[in-house]
């Protein structure tokens, strides 16, 4: 029994050596394999949710994402919808958004880029106001707070 | 010094030490240079050579002098400083500031570090997503690579990761070495259970809020990496917490206690690594036949892993990070690196050689990039 | 509800270690087999649940009649959060060798079947700072339903610790559980202090 313990301990120690030796040459392939696992995606509360639809405008495109209410076990009462303007943006933006595509406008977003002033005019009870409005590498992003129906 | 060398049982001859260094020499050369050194940038070449030579010298000295902790600590501290330097310079290059903004969060551009891992677990299981605004793969400090690095190192080294791989641990390890004698000697070792309580709290709060709460509210290393832009009272409170915890647990307490207080009393990943010590093959053993119960090891242990009860019981606790400080200080060579299943006192040199090889390969390759970058930047700065 | 769950979970371990040692040896000493222990535990937890439901109702109505203005509610609850959180941290770090269990009087009860009910009532009404915090939370909720949810979260978090009670005798290092629980309670207190401060400044 003592000998078995010693031998298995030493075998495990050599396996640890192999683990470290293959770690760095295989880091890229291991990382790619890990990144393909189903849970390896950024939570929509950070990533902003999947794109729902887009409006192609004169020199830019407005991408409206799916509303995000994600909680741990179920949806939360409060969430947001993210709007991304991509391309060459005008200095002043004013868009009326129907994020749930029910035919009725939900809010109007007025954005003055130079002054970094963003105003949300809610047209629906589900819209709570502005959460985030920031310049991004691709244009501008706004997150508008929502209540769940 | 000469007397110390004589009593140290792990000291090897010059030739034998060189022989032991040869495999590390070859492996580090291949990984640092990619097998083909780049001669086009002299500053980078010099940085690479200095790093390569320095690392191999440290490994050689570990064998030649028989001492572990002294040379490990040099590399470990340099790693912490250079990583912060590299991270800060990268961030400043990207954003012109050490603070990150809402844009960085929205675009998921925050560099990931291993301390987030405990908070990812529950949300990943329930929401099948990662609650961190970083990059899954590709880019600077992506999530997949960091998770793989930590996972492999933790399986192989257990809590040894905290002394041979964690690029934050070098900060309080460094500060704990500033004074020769501690000003504050009596600290209740029950504080070492605090990381478990914090682990429980951050895992739960992160799961409930889907926000990495430790990073958001507690992490003292925000002070030397990146932090949220101070725009309102809440972010000011957070910045105050980061700076106070850094000043208190990473600087002040290690200086006065000569202990790694942040690693011992706060780090929630340290708690997970402590548990992983149960699976790693490497450990530190006490040879009861040689131990004279002088308790020098309990005094120097920086992580409260050795109490008098542990020494009397002839075992080292799971809190051990295998830094080698107790092994170096033991006047009778009663404490030694060992392998689980192998009785204390047997295969001492073999166990030490194997452990040093595994852990040094890890820290040297992991740290090489940031050390080379730092030296290169310093050279460029001096030249310009 | 999430906060209440965390508060219950963090303070539940201390509650278990301080009271469980008094209560369960007594309960188990008199019961024959796991079935009877489970039945006792179920009665104990059901009693706690009912007491918390009652408390949720009382404090919410009290809160409605006393704290009508939302600004006042915010300031009052923020202030109470800070005070009770400091009490909670003090409760956690206080160096009394062993905290006394309010249910110690259980030994005096003669009628066997009433023991778990009595334990449930005493355990729920022990005025520890965690309960004071949850009372404050319940009193300042907008609806009675939310007050119930707060208490439900607290009940669920603290009850989790009692579920493995029949097996607690097997745990070797009870002092470790107690130490971790005490630290977790202190941390929960810190979280509520920050929450209180944010309520005051926002």
Minimal C-alpha gap between A99 and chain B (Å): 19
- In this structure, the answer to whether residues A27 and A49 fall within a common structural domain is no
- If contacts are CB pairs under 8 Å, which of residues 217-246 in chain B contact chain C? 217, 233-234, 237
Minimal C-alpha gap between B306 and chain C (Å): 16
pLDDT band at B1 (very low <50, low <70, confident <90, very high): very low
pLDDT band at B325 (very low <50, low <70, confident <90, very high): very high
- In this structure, the answer to whether residues A26 and A86 fall within a common structural domain is no
Q: Which of B107, B361, B362 sits opposite A137 (nearest CB)?
A: B107
Q: What is the pLDDT of residue B237?
A: 87
Q: Touching check for A20 and chain B: CB below 8 Å? A: yes
- In this structure, the answer to whether residues A53 and A114 fall within a common structural domain is yes
- In this structure, the answer to whether residues A52 and A13 fall within a common structural domain is no
Report whether pLDDT(B2) > 50. no
Which chains does chain B touch, 3 or more C-beta pairs < 8 A? A, C
Residues in chain A closer than 8 A to B361 (CB atoms): 20-21
Which chains does chain A touch, 3 or more C-beta pairs < 8 A? B
- In this structure, the answer to whether residues A69 and A104 fall within a common structural domain is yes
Report pLDDT digits (tens) over B263-310.
999 999 999 999 999 999 999 999 999 999 999 999 999 999 999 999
Could you tell me the sign of the dihedral formed by the alpha carbons of B295, B296, B299, B303, in that order? negative
Q: What is the pLDDT of residue B46?
A: 94
Residues in chain C closer than 8 A to B198 (CB atoms): 183, 187
Q: What is the pLDDT of residue A72?
A: 86
- In this structure, the answer to whether residues A102 and A134 fall within a common structural domain is yes
Report pLDDT digits (tens) over B183-205.
998 888 889 999 998 998 898 88
User: B144 vs A32: CB contact, 8 Å cut-off?
Assistant: yes
Q: Which of A15, A19, A46 sits opposite B133 (nearest CB)?
A: A46
By C-alpha distance, the chain B residue nearest C1 is B208
A85: β partners: A62, A140
- pLDDT (average), residues A8-35: 95
Q: Touching check for C191 and chain B: CB below 8 Å? A: yes
Q: What is the pLDDT of residue C144?
A: 86
- In this structure, the answer to whether residues A10 and A61 fall within a common structural domain is no
- If contacts are CB pairs under 8 Å, which of residues 10-49 in chain C contact chain B? 10
Q: Touching check for A47 and chain B: CB below 8 Å? A: yes
- pLDDT (average), residues A129-143: 94
Contact status, residue B70 vs residue B354, Cβ threshold 8 Å: no
Which chains does chain C touch, 3 or more C-beta pairs < 8 A? B
Give how many domains chain A has, as a whole number: 2
Residues in chain A closer than 8 A to B153 (CB atoms): 20, 23
- In this structure, the answer to whether residues A118 and A76 fall within a common structural domain is yes
User: B193 vs C186: CB contact, 8 Å cut-off?
Assistant: no
User: C191 vs B204: CB contact, 8 Å cut-off?
Assistant: no
Q: Which of A9, A40, A137 sits opposite B130 (nearest CB)?
A: A40
- pLDDT (average), residues B65-69: 94
pLDDT band at B3 (very low <50, low <70, confident <90, very high): very low
User: B190 vs C179: CB contact, 8 Å cut-off?
Assistant: yes
User: B144 vs A21: CB contact, 8 Å cut-off?
Assistant: no
**How far from each other are the two terminal CA atoms of chain C, in whole angstroms?**
21
Report whether pLDDT(B78) > 70. yes
| All domains in chain B, ordered by first residue | 1-97+347-384 (no CATH), 101-279 (no CATH), 281-346 (3.30.70.20)
- In this structure, the answer to whether residues A76 and A53 fall within a common structural domain is yes
User: C191 vs B201: CB contact, 8 Å cut-off?
Assistant: yes
Q: What is the ipTM, given to two decimal places? A: 0.91
Residues in chain B closer than 8 A to A48 (CB atoms): 106
Measured between alpha carbons, how far is C154 from C141 in angstroms, rounded to an integer? 15
Q: What is the pLDDT of residue A126?
A: 93
Minimal C-alpha gap between B104 and chain A (Å): 8
Q: What is the pLDDT of residue A75?
A: 87
Rounded to the nearest 10 degrees, the angle between the axes of helix B194-209 and helix B268-276 is: 110
Minimal C-alpha gap between B162 and chain A (Å): 16
Report pLDDT digits (tens) over B201-246.
898 889 888 999 999 899 999 888 877 778 888 888 888 999 999 9
- In this structure, the answer to whether residues A49 and A30 fall within a common structural domain is no
Contact status, residue A103 vs residue A40, Cβ threshold 8 Å: no
Q: pLDDT 10s per residue in chain C (202 long)?
A: 777 787 777 767 666 655 555 555 555 555 455 666 777 778 888 888 888 888 888 888 888 777 666 666 667 767 777 877 777 677 666 655 455 555 555 555 556 666 677 777 766 776 677 777 888 888 888 788 888 888 888 888 877 777 765 555 555 566 777 787 778 777 877 877 887 888 777 6
**How far from each other are the two terminal CA atoms of chain A, in whole angstroms?**
66
Q: What is the pLDDT of residue B72?
A: 97
Q: Which of C2, C180, C197 sits opposite B197 (nearest CB)?
A: C180
Q: Which of B196, B204, B209 sits opposite C180 (nearest CB)?
A: B196
Could you tell me the sign of the dihedral formed by the alpha carbons of C41, C46, C51, C53, in that order? positive
Q: What is the pLDDT of residue B212?
A: 93
Ramachandran angles phi, psi of B237, nearest 5°: -60, -45
By C-alpha distance, the chain B residue nearest C188 is B201
Q: Touching check for C173 and chain B: CB below 8 Å? A: no
- pLDDT (average), residues A82-89: 93
Q: Which of B136, B211, B358 sits opposite A42 (nearest CB)?
A: B136
Domain span at residue A49? 44-147
Minimal C-alpha gap between C54 and chain B (Å): 26
Rg (CA), chain B: 21
- If contacts are CB pairs under 8 Å, which of residues 59-118 in chain A contact chain B? 70-73, 82
Which letter does DSSP use for residue B315 in this model? B
Report pLDDT digits (tens) over B243-270.
999 999 999 999 999 999 999 999 999 9
Q: Touching check for C107 and chain B: CB below 8 Å? A: no
Q: What is the pLDDT of residue B5?
A: 45
* Residue A133: half-sphere exposure toward Cβ, Cα within 13 Å: 17
pLDDT band at B366 (very low <50, low <70, confident <90, very high): very high
Q: What is the pLDDT of residue B6?
A: 43
HEC letters along chain A: CHHHHHHHHHHHHHHHHHHHHHHCCCHHHHHHHHHCCCCCCECHHHHCCCEEEEEECCCEEEEEECCECCCCCCCCCEEEEEEEEEECCCCEEEEEECCCCCCCCCEEEEEECCCCEEEEEECCCCEEEEEEEEEECCEEEEEEEEECC
DSSP 3-state of C14: helix
User: A134 vs B102: CB contact, 8 Å cut-off?
Assistant: yes
- In this structure, the answer to whether residues A7 and A67 fall within a common structural domain is no
Could you tell me the sign of the dihedral formed by the alpha carbons of C111, C117, C118, C119, in that order? positive
Name, in order, each residue with C-beta under 8 angstroms of B25's C-beta and a sequence gap of 6 or more. B56
Measured between alpha carbons, how far is C43 from B74 in angstroms, rounded to an integer? 61
What average pLDDT does the structure give for chain B?
A: 91
Measured between alpha carbons, how far is B356 from B68 in angstroms, rounded to an integer? 8
Q: Touching check for B209 and chain C: CB below 8 Å? A: yes
User: C187 vs B234: CB contact, 8 Å cut-off?
Assistant: no
Report pLDDT digits (tens) over B40-51.
888 999 999 999
CA dihedral A119, A122, A126, A127 (to 10 degrees): 0
Q: Which of B194, B204, B237 sits opposite C6 (nearest CB)?
A: B204
User: B197 vs C186: CB contact, 8 Å cut-off?
Assistant: yes
Contact status, residue B372 vs residue B32, Cβ threshold 8 Å: yes
- In this structure, the answer to whether residues A73 and A12 fall within a common structural domain is no
Report whether pLDDT(A104) > 80. yes
Range in A27-31, A139-143, B380-384 the model is least confident about: B380-384
Q: What is the pLDDT of residue A108?
A: 95
Residues in chain B closer than 8 A to C198 (CB atoms): 234, 237
User: A38 vs B128: CB contact, 8 Å cut-off?
Assistant: yes
């Amino acid at each position: 029994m003592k000998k078995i313990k010693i031998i298995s301990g030493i075998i495990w120690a050599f396996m640890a050596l192999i683990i470290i030796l293959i770690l760095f040459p295989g880091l890229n392939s291991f990382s790619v394999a890990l990144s393909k696992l189903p849970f390896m995606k950024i939570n929509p509360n950070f990533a902003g949710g999947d794109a729902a639809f887009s409006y192609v405008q004169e020199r830019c495109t407005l991408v409206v994402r799916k509303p995000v209410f994600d909680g741990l076990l179920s949806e939360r009462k409060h969430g947001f919808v993210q709007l991304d303007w991509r391309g060459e943006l005008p200095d002043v933006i004013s868009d009326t958004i129907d994020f749930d595509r029910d035919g009725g406008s939900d809010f109007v977003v007025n954005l003055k880029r130079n002054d970094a002033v963003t105003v949300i005019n809610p047209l629906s009870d589900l819209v709570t106001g502005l959460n985030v409005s920031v310049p991004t590498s691709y244009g501008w992003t706004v997150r508008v707070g929502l209540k769940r129906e | 010094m000469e007397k110390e060398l004589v009593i140290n049982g792990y000291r090897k001859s010059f030739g034998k030490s060189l022989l032991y260094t040869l495999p590390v020499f070859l492996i580090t050369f291949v990984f640092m240079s990619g097998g083909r050194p780049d001669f086009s940038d002299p500053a980078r070449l010099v940085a690479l050579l200095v790093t390569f030579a320095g690392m191999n010298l440290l490994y050689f000295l570990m064998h030649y002098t028989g001492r572990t902790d002294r040379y490990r600590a040099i590399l470990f501290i340099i790693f912490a400083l250079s990583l912060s330097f590299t991270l800060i310079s990268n961030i400043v290059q990207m954003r012109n500031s050490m603070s990150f903004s809402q844009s960085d969060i929205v675009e998921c551009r925050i560099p990931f570090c291993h301390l987030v891992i405990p908070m990812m677990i529950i949300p990943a299981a329930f929401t099948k997503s990662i609650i961190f605004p970083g990059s899954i793969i590709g880019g600077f400090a992506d999530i997949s690579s960091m998770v793989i690095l930590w996972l492999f190192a933790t399986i192989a080294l257990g809590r040894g990761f905290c002394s041979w791989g964690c690029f934050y641990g070098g900060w309080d390890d460094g500060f704990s070495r500033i004074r020769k004698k501690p000003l504050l000697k009596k600290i209740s070792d029950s504080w070492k259970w605090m990381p478990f309580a914090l682990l429980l709290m951050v895992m739960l709060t992160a799961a409930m809020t889907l926000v990495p709460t430790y990073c958001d509210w507690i992490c003292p290393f925000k002070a030397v990496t990146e932090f949220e832009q101070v725009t309102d009272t809440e972010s000011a409170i957070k910045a105050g917490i980061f700076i106070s915890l850094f000043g208190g647990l990473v600087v002040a307490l290690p200086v006065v206690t000569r202990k790694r207080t942040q690693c011992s009393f706060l780090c929630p990943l340290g708690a997970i690594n402590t548990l992983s010590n149960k699976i790693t093959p490497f450990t530190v053993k006490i040879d009861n036949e040689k131990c004279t119960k002088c308790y020098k090891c309990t005094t120097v242990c920086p992580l409260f892993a050795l109490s008098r009860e542990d020494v009397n019981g002839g075992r080292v606790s799971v809190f051990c990070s295998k830094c080698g400080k107790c092994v170096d200080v033991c006047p009778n060579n009663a404490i030694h690196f060992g392998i689980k299943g192998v009785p204390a006192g047997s295969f001492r040199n073999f166990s030490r050689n194997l452990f040093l090889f595994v852990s040094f390969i890890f820290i040297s390759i992991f740290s090489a990039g940031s050390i080379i970058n730092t030296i290169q930047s310093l050279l460029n700065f001096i030249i310009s | 509800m999430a906060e209440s769950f965390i508060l219950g979970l963090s303070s539940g371990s201390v509650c278990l270690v301080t009271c469980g040692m008094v209560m369960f040896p007594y309960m188990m000493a008199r019961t024959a087999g796991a079935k009877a222990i489970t039945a006792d535990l179920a009665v104990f937890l059901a009693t706690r649940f009912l007491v918390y439901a009652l408390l949720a109702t009382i404090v919410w109505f009290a809160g409605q009649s006393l704290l009508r203005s939302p600004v006042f509610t915010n300031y009052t609850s923020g202030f109470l959060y800070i005070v009770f959180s400091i009490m909670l941290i003090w409760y956690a770090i206080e160096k009394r060798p062993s905290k006394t269990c309010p249910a110690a009087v259980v030994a005096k009860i003669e009628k066997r079947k009433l023991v778990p009910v009595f334990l449930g009532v005493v355990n729920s009404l022990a005025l520890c700072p965690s309960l004071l915090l949850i009372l404050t939370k319940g009193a300042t909720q907008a609806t009675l339903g939310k007050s119930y949810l707060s208490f439900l979260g607290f009940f669920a978090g603290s009850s989790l610790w009692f579920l493995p009670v029949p097996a607690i005798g097997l745990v070797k290092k009870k002092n470790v559980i107690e130490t971790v629980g005490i630290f977790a309670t202190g941390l929960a207190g810190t979280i509520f202090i920050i929450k209180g401060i944010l309520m005051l400044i926002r």
